[in-house]
Amino acid sequence: GENVGLHLPTLSVQEGDNSIINCAYSNSASDYFIWYKQESGKGPQFIIDIRSNMDKRQGQRVTVLLNKTVKHLSLQIAATQPGDSAVYFCAENYGGATNKLIFGTGTLLAVQP
Amino acid sequence: DTEVTQTPKHLVMGMTNKKSLKCEQHMGHRAMYWYKQKAKKPPELMFVYSYEKLSINESVPSRFSPECPNSSLLNLHLHALQPEDSALYLCASSPPWGTLETQYFGPGTRLLVL
């Protein structure tokens, strides 16, 4: 049955602060990574992606860092806003003949006004 | 436009009912996916269609039956579901399979099985 009482890891930040959400991925052969934002009652929304031949990529207010040595991915959000409150999932793509994504467990970002 | 639409938004069904979930995209994507998401968990892949052919079935029970009538539409037929099948069902699409491309998700159908 349901794992009653399961809690998502939570990051609580003050509005205007920078946020860093971390993710450990599982497969050293993964060559494409995506961060998704999922607001309550909605589907995952693409934020930013990065390929394994890069270690940093910047978007609008967001930066993704990739450390292949330790299989670690992070999402940095600058000047966090209340609208950033959501669950954030990292996803890795094993590549090869499929486009199969494997999602991390997710982090709940709670922005305090 | 990166929009994937899903209908209905909410669905309540009994264990003896037959219902269908629908998904549509007009981005020219040739890969479409069904995911199941339980509360406070990440999405779990159920099926993948590539060029309208079923390519991956993640050992999903036969009470879930996917269908891809054309390159823009994806259906999930439901029959004799169990209460534990209650979840958010997400559809996604991506450019042709074999490339490392982003999957774009729809808003989901929240299913409750009584």
Q: Torsion over CA of A5, A6, A12 and A15, rounded to 10 degrees?
A: -90
Give per-residue pLDDT as tens, B2-44: 699 999 999 999 999 999 999 999 999 999 999 999 999 999 9
Of the residues A48, A54, A99, A105, the best mutation for testing chain B's interface (the one with the most B CB atoms within 10 Å of its CB) is A99
**pLDDT at residue A4 is higher than 60:** no
DSSP code string of B7-56: E-SEEEE-TT-EEEEEEEE-S---EEEEEEE-TTS--EEEEEEETTEEEE
Nearest to A93 among B44, B100, B105 (CB): B100
Distances (CA, A) of B32 to A35, A76, B111: 19, 30, 20
Q: What is the mean pLDDT of residues A83-105?
A: 86
- pLDDT value at residue A29: 86
**3 state DSSP class of A84:** helix
E-assigned strands of chain A? 10-14, 19-24, 32-38, 45-51, 56-58, 62-67, 72-77, 86-93, 101-103, 107-112
Confidence of residue A95 (pLDDT cuts 50, 70, 90): low
- pLDDT above 70 covers what percent of chain B? 95
- pLDDT value at residue A5: 43
Residues of A with CB under 8 A from a CB of B: 1-2, 6-8, 31-32, 34, 36, 41-46, 49, 51, 89, 93, 95, 97-101, 103-106
Inter-chain touch B98–A99, beta carbons under 8 Å = yes
- pLDDT value at residue A60: 93
